[in-house]
A and B are shown apart, each in its own frame.
Chain A
C-alpha cells in the first residue's frame, strides 16, 4: 500500500488538534500563539494534501479506501468510519487546505483588534470549520459526509454569529442555521432512501449498484431530488439562498472561507460525488439545471443594485454557485468542479480584497462612501482587479475557462440555457466592474478622518492576496478546452475515473468547432462591452442617490426576504401564538392541572378510611381476607 495515502487521516486530524488547543486554551494563549497554531495546523494539512495529490496523479492510481474503525454495525447495515482518497477528494483537499491556509494567515492580521480569548475562539472555530469540511470531502460513505455536512453548518452558525453581542448578527447566524436545517432534512431523507434501496451508504457499494439500474428509475429521481434539497440549503440555491448574503454578518475572512473554500461547495461536491445517480435521473438533472440557472440570474440582478461591498460579493457567489449547478444539471461534472476550483481562488481573493478595503476604511462597507482608493491601496487594487477580470470571464484568466466550459455544455444541452446563462455572465461582468469602479476609481467620498487613515494592509494580508491573484490568473490553464489545444484539458483527464460511470452512461455530444468559436466571440464581445460600460458609467458619476422604480426592487432583493417573512415566518408565529394561547393554556395545562386536582381529591376521600379506630382497621382486614377468599375460589 502507498504509505502517504494511509496517512490521509492526518489531513483532518491537524485542524482538529488546532481546534482543541485553541478552543480549550483560549484564556491562556497569547494572540500571536493562537494565530500561529491555527495557521500552522492548516499548513500541515496542506502539505499532506499536496503529497496525497501527487500520489493520485499517477496513471495507475485507483480510488483507495482507508478504513479507520468500525462505526455502525447493526442489523446488516455496516457503516465503517472510512476515508476515500480519489481524484475528486484529493482536488478538494488541495483547495480547502490551500485557500484555507491563506485565509487563516490573513485572519491573523485582520482580526488583530479582537481580545485575545475571542481571537483564540475565532481560530478554534475556523479550524473546526476546516476539519468539518475535510471530513465531508474525505468520507467514504454518505454518513461521514453527513457528519461533515452538519459540522460546517454548525461552524457557519458559530462564525456568522461571532460578534454575538450584536442581535442582528445573531439573527443572521440563526437564519443560516435554520435554512441549513431545512436542507439537511432533505439530505437525511435521501440517505434513508439510499439505505432502503441499496442497503448501504458506502460509495463503492452504492454507485456500482446504481449504475446497473434503469435510467429514469423513479426511486433514483426521489433520492436525487432529496439530496438536491440538501444541496440547495448548503450551497445557497433557490429557495434557500437568503442566508448566504446575510452571512456577511461574520468577519470578512469567514465570508471568504464560507464562500470560497468550504461550506457552499459542499452541495456541488455531493452532487459531483453522486454523479452516477444524477446521470441516471434525467428529470432531476433538469430541475438542478433550471434551479441553478434561475438562481444565477436572480442573484446577478440583485447584485447590480447592492451598495454593501460584501453583499455584492455574496450575491455574486450565489450567482456563481448557480452556474455550478447549471453545469451539474447538464452533466458537465468536470466543468462544475473546475468552476468550484477557480471560483475558490478568485472569490477568496475578492473577499480578502474587500476585507483589506474594509480594514483600511475602518469598517466602512458602503461603496457609496468609498472611491478613489486605487492610489492608496495599490496591492489591494491590482489584486482586486485580477479577481474582477477572472470572475467576469476574460481569457486567459481562470474564470473564463471554467465558465466557458459550463456554458458550452449548457448550449449543447439546450440553447435557451446558454442564452440565459450568458445574460447572467453579462450581469456578472457589469456588477463586478461597477463595484470596482465605485471602490477604486473616481474621487474619495468618505469622511476626512477616514481619508487620513487610509493605508495599505500589512504583509499577512497582502501576501495571501498576491498568491490568490496569481492562482486566479493561472488556475484556468489546467482546463484548456479542446478548441484551443487538443488533449490539453488536464483536469478532465485527471478527474475522468471519478466520472467514468456517468460518461459511459450518456452519449457525449460535441459541438462543432465553428459553433464554439461563434459562441466564444459573441460572449466575449458582450462581456467586454459590459465591463467598459460599467467602468465608464460608475468611475465618473457613481450612483449615490436614492433608487426608484425597478432599481429599488432590485436593491431590496426582489423583496424575497419580506415574502418569506410574510408567507412563512408570520403564519408560523401566529400559529405559535395560537398554540400557546389555546392548546397550551386550556388543553395541556388543563390536562396537567386536572391530573393533579384529581389526585388531590381522591386523596382527600381516601384519607377518611384512616380513622384511627383499631376496630375499623380490623374490619377492613377481614373484608380484604374475605375478598381474597372469593377471588381464590372463583378465579384460581
Chain B
C-alpha cells in the first residue's frame, strides 16, 4: 500500500485532534483529542519505518533496520500513559474544586 494513504489518515486524525482541542470545552474531550494527535504521529512513525525497511532490504537482504522508529512508538505510548494518569488526576482535582470539567472556568491564571 502506498505511503500516501497513511499520511492522509494521519493528517486527518491530527487535524481532528487540533480542532477538538481548540473548540471543545470539556477537559476530558480535550484530553482525548490530545491522545488522538499523539496516535496520529505514532501511526506515521510506524508507516515510515516500514517504508524505509522495505527499501533498505531491497538493497541489502541481510540489513537489520526498521525497528528504531517502532521503538519510538513504544516510548511515546509509555509517556502518554504516564501523562494520562497525571492528567486525569488533575481533572479529578479540578472537578472536586469547581464541580465542573469546563476549561472556560479555569481562568484563574489571569490573576
Contacts and interface: CB of A to CB of B under 8 A. Distances in A.
Nearest to B108: A612
Contacts of A619: 22
B83 to A, nearest CB: 16
A59 B111 CA distance: 93
A613 to B, nearest CB: 6
A60 interface: no
B110 A611 contact: yes
Contact of A618 (B21, B104, B107, B111): B21
Most B Cβ at <10 Å: residue of A610, A613, A615: A615
Nearest to B21: A618
B12 interface: no
A591 interface: no
A613 B21 contact: no
A622 B104 CA distance: 18
B25 interface: yes
A28 B104 CA distance: 77
Interface string B21-36: 1100100000000000
B84 interface: no
Interface string A592-636: 000000000000000000111111001100100000000000000
B103 interface: yes
Bin the interface of chain A by size. Answer: under 10
B90 interface: no
Given A612-B110, A613-B103, 10 more contacts: A610-B110, A611-B107, A611-B110, A612-B108, A613-B104, A613-B107, A614-B103, A614-B106, A615-B103, A618-B21
Interface in B91-110: 103-104, 106-110
B46 interface: no
Nearest to A613: B107
24 contacts: A610-B110, A611-B107, A611-B110, A612-B107, A612-B108, A612-B109, A612-B110, A612-B111, A613-B103, A613-B104, A613-B107, A614-B103, A614-B104, A614-B106, A614-B107, A615-B22, A615-B25, A615-B103, A615-B104, A618-B21, A618-B22, A619-B22, A622-B18, A622-B22
Nearest to A617: B109
A36 B83 CA distance: 87
A135 to B, nearest CB: 68
Contacts of B25: 615
A622 B20 CA distance: 12
Contacts of B22: 615, 618-619, 622
Contacts of A614: 103-104, 106-107
A614 B108 CA distance: 10
A47 B107 CA distance: 88
Interface of B: 18, 21-22, 25, 103-104, 106-111
Per DSSP, chain B at the interface is helix
A524 B45 CA distance: 117
Contacts of A613: 103-104, 107
Nearest to B103: A614
Nearest to B27: A614
A618 B27 CA distance: 13
A611 B22 CA distance: 15
A619 B24 CA distance: 12
A618 B107 CA distance: 13
A613 B103 CA distance: 8
Contacts of A618: 21-22
Interface in A275-322: none
A411 B21 CA distance: 105
Nearest to B24: A615
A616 to B, nearest CB: 10
A558 B23 CA distance: 92
A411 to B, nearest CB: 96
Contacts of A612: 107-111
Contacts of B21: 618
A614 to B, nearest CB: 5
Nearest to B109: A612
B79 to A, nearest CB: 19
Most B Cβ at <10 Å: residue of A610, A612, A614: A614
Contacts of B109: 612
B21 to A, nearest CB: 6
B80 to A, nearest CB: 18
Shortest 9 CB-CB contacts between residues of A and residues of B: A612-B110, A612-B107, A614-B103, A612-B109, A618-B21, A619-B22, A613-B107, A614-B106, A622-B18
A611 B110 CA distance: 6
A615 B21 CA distance: 8
A618 B21 CA distance: 8
A631 B101 CA distance: 36
Interface in A407-446: none
B23 to A, nearest CB: 8
A535 B52 CA distance: 122
A125 to B, nearest CB: 65
A461 B109 CA distance: 85
B20 to A, nearest CB: 11
A232 B109 CA distance: 73
A613 B21 CA distance: 13
Nearest to B25: A615
A415 to B, nearest CB: 97
A557 B10 CA distance: 100
B45 to A, nearest CB: 19
A619 B25 CA distance: 13
A612 B25 CA distance: 14
A505 B15 CA distance: 96
A615 B104 CA distance: 8
Contacts of A611: 107, 110
Contacts of B110: 610-612
Contacts of B111: 612
A469 B107 CA distance: 97
